[in-house]
Amino acid sequence: MAPRRARRPSRTPSAPPRPVGRPPVWPDETRPPRERDITLLWALRSPCSFGCPHCYFGELDLDKAGPPKEVGMLSHIPVRDLDHAALEAFARSLADSPVERVVLAGGEPLDWLPTLSVIKTIKDAGCEVVIATNGVPLTRPGIARRLVELGVDGVSVSLDSADAAVNDRLRPSRSGRVGHREVLAGIRTLLEGRGDGAGPRVGIYTVVIRERPQEITDVARLAAEVGVDYYVPQPISLPPDHKLFAERCHTAADVPAVEEQLLRLQQDPGGLTLPGTAYIRQFLASIATQDSGRIEHCFGGAQLFFVQPDGSVWDCPSDRRIAATPPAARRTIVGTEARTLFADRPVCTDCSHFSRDCVNMGPLVLGMPRLLGREGT
Ligand SMILES: C[S@@+](CC[C@H](N)C(=O)[O-])C[C@H]1O[C@@H](n2cnc3c(N)ncnc32)[C@H](O)[C@@H]1O
């Protein structure tokens, strides 16, 4: 998921962007236009009980020393998070809008109880709801049952390794008291809670780093054993000046090892729904070519929008695209209705800010019907 997010300042590519071309044709691109076709990635709250050092929201300890002041920069410090009333007001306005699906993320959306009320309002507005979570809140009494009752459509749980110790190193909880074991317990609680009912569909998202391509198939095997429905491995995306960039981000030399794992996953998905062949191709292309380039016919700013915890609205969560947004184009959900906010969107956009982040957007928008079992796998 993601998940995400503008974070550290992004650089402007020094060379003119190379065209990356049209994004791959996803299954539902052939569908006739729909009245509601927008996916909103809504980072509802900033705080999270996990302290992943690669997180799009930056590192809490660093931000405590000097919180980012730039517009569009995310932080786990919630000083600018909107209050419940403002979130509800916008959620109510979705009823009469072209928004089809809301992916709730953060920060951690399920650590804040009013999220359940916001979910109800979004569902009452006729939208699909998918939640991106670290999974631990699902172990708390009543949370999983409530998500089932509310008719949540999908729950994507983050898990970065099949090995508990490795996962808890990559995704450390702030307390040090919860991790891999509680994440799996949360998934199992949700699967039991939904019983034979229709939903939600449950999936695992894995951030793939260069030193551990094997997690692609290892986590898939674990996901199948646990009984989840879908699985999305996604490449880590970090700005080049991030302290973990060299250690964790792929280079072209990593393509063969990643490709081998992705092919094995495709050949034997173990009953899991995967994002599809086009996604796999884009995953490989993104790590083969270094960041930067142009995407023609991008869905960011057309079928995808990103809302940050402070209510600011962006065409896409990519930090580069956020940094390139002129002040005059900045918008907010505060005091406005979704129908008005999304009235003048183009059919697609021509974006010059291709990065690995782009790969992670496909499953949220074009791949979601497949992950949610709305079309053949
Ligand atoms: C920011 S989290 C928020 C939701 C929730 N707290 C969670 O842990 O899943 C959303 C997703 O973004 C992923 N993510 C965070 N930083 C990332 C990065 N630098 N590159 C790729 N994915 C990242 C997380 O692993 C997670 O799957």
- Boundaries of every domain in the chain: 36-371
Q: What is the mean pLDDT of residues 6-18?
A: 38
Ligand 1 cavity residues, CB under 6 Å: 1-4, 48, 50, 54-56, 105-106, 108, 132-134, 158, 205, 207, 234, 236-238
Note the pLDDT of residue 120.
Answer: 98
> Does residue 151 or residue 282 have the better pLDDT?
151
How much distance in Å is there from the Cα of 96 to the middle of ligand 1?
30
Q: Which residue's C-alpha comes closest to atom 16 of ligand 1?
A: 55
The token pair at 229 is 């429905």
pLDDT at 265: 98
Average confidence (pLDDT) over 3-9: 41
Contact between residue 294 and residue 320 where contact means Cβ atoms under 8 Å apart: no
Task: Answer whether residue 6 shows pLDDT above 80.
Answer: no
Determine the pLDDT at residue 177: 97
Q: Report the chain's mean pLDDT, rounded to a whole number.
A: 89
The total of other beta-carbon atoms located within 10 Å of residue 291's CB is 21
pLDDT over threshold 80, residue 206: yes
Rounded Cα distance, 312 and 310, in Å: 6
Query: Could you give the 3-state DSSP secondary structure of residue 327?
Result: helix
Please tell me the distance between residue 206's alpha carbon and the centre of ligand 1 in angstroms.
9
Is the pLDDT score of 320 beyond 50?
A: yes
Percent of the chain with pLDDT over 70: 90
Q: What pLDDT was estimated at residue 118?
A: 98
Band (pLDDT 50/70/90 cuts) for residue 15 is very low
The preferred substitution site among 10, 52, 202 for testing ligand 1, maximizing ligand atoms within 8 Å of CB, is 52
CATH of 36-371, one of 3.20.20.70, 3.30.70.890, 3.40.50.1400, 3.40.50.300: 3.20.20.70
* pLDDT over 90 (residue 113): yes
- The pLDDT, as a whole number, for residue 212 is 98
**Residue-wise pLDDT tens digits, 343-357:** 989 898 988 888 788
CA-based nearest residue to 77, from 269, 310, 240, 290: 310
DSSP per-residue letters across 162-205: SSHHHHHHHS-BSSSS-SHHHHHHHHHHHHHHHTTSS--EEEEE
